[in-house]
Amino acid sequence: MEEVLEFKVDEEGDSLRLDLFLFDKLEGWSRSRCQTLIKSGKVKVNEKTVSKPAYNVKLNDVVQVTIEEAKQEEGLIPENIPIDIIYQDNDIVVVNKPAGLVVHPAPGHPNGTLVNALLYHCKDYSPVSGDPLRPGVVHRLDMNTTGVLVFAKNPHAYLELRRQVENREFKRRYLALVKGVPPHKEGIIEASIGRSLCDRKRMSVTGVNSREAVTHYVVKESFKYLSLLELKLFTGRTHQIRVHLKFIGYPVLGDPVYGFVDYHTLPLPETVIRTMEKLPGQALHAQLLGLKHPTNNAYMEFTAPLPDYFNEILSLLRKSTKS
């Protein structure tokens, strides 16, 4: 079975290589798989087949991609990993992802992922359009970020949910515990994000080979040295919230890459410090996800409660340091 996806190049995609353009558009696809797709003649630009990954797309170009239903690879096997399924039907499955669980197989994580768990717990969750190792992956959360994620169970659902992602129709709300107290109750961070020029494994705010990134934040609670922020994404760049909060000087607690982990430098009670040291990773939680159902178009919202360790820290802070 084949499906055709169509994208129109906007200002953000103008002059990008074709493989990079598709890599950005096709969630769940690796760059090498995008290159293979192009070389196999499955991509057209303005109705003409383009077989060179380095081809530069231009503003208002129409890119058509023909993708086939993916075949499950031998390495992708069902695994009995406990997961919290919030909702599922014939088209989608929504989960509350815990910290420490990788979304899909990747170098260094060939198994033991959320995708492996879904294959076990959802018998109708089969490989759909996209990379065979990332079936149904519509969007992602970093390994130690917790909260709501939706997966597609069939090609139609995958394409429709990806369309919503591309058109920025998903409603996404996060909570983060950060070092410091912003001077304003709310604000918007508009700073382009790209690969760090010093470390290609990290992202950074940069004007070089970067993409537009916009994050809105509201201070929900302020403590003497820390704040609980509510964040909304207007774009979905890799590590966006973590990078943006570092950029404005309010790094996320528990994040060893972009955030703050030197808890003992804070003049807080020892009980609070010891509890913070138990954080499994960044104190960042995807609290809410809103979307339109891919089949009946009904708007749906899903929420996930904060992890116990996150609530424990907040409880201690409220008792000892609320200002």
Catalytic residues: 142
The amino acid at 198? C
User: Of all residues in the chain, what percent are helix, strand and coil, respectively (each to 5)?
Assistant: 20, 30, 50
| Token pair belonging to 103 | 């979304």
Directed axis angle between helix 18-25 and helix 31-39, to 10°?
Answer: 120
CA angle 70–73–74, rounded 5-degree value: 160
What is the rounded CA–CA span in Å between residue 283 and residue 253?
A: 6
Q: Cα torsion at 247, 312, 173, 109 (round to 10°)?
A: 80
Q: How many CB atoms lie within 10 A of CB 274?
A: 11
| SS3 at position 87 | strand
What is the rounded CA–CA span in Å between residue 57 and residue 151?
A: 29
What is the rounded CA–CA span in Å between residue 228 and residue 313?
A: 11
263: which DSSP letter? G
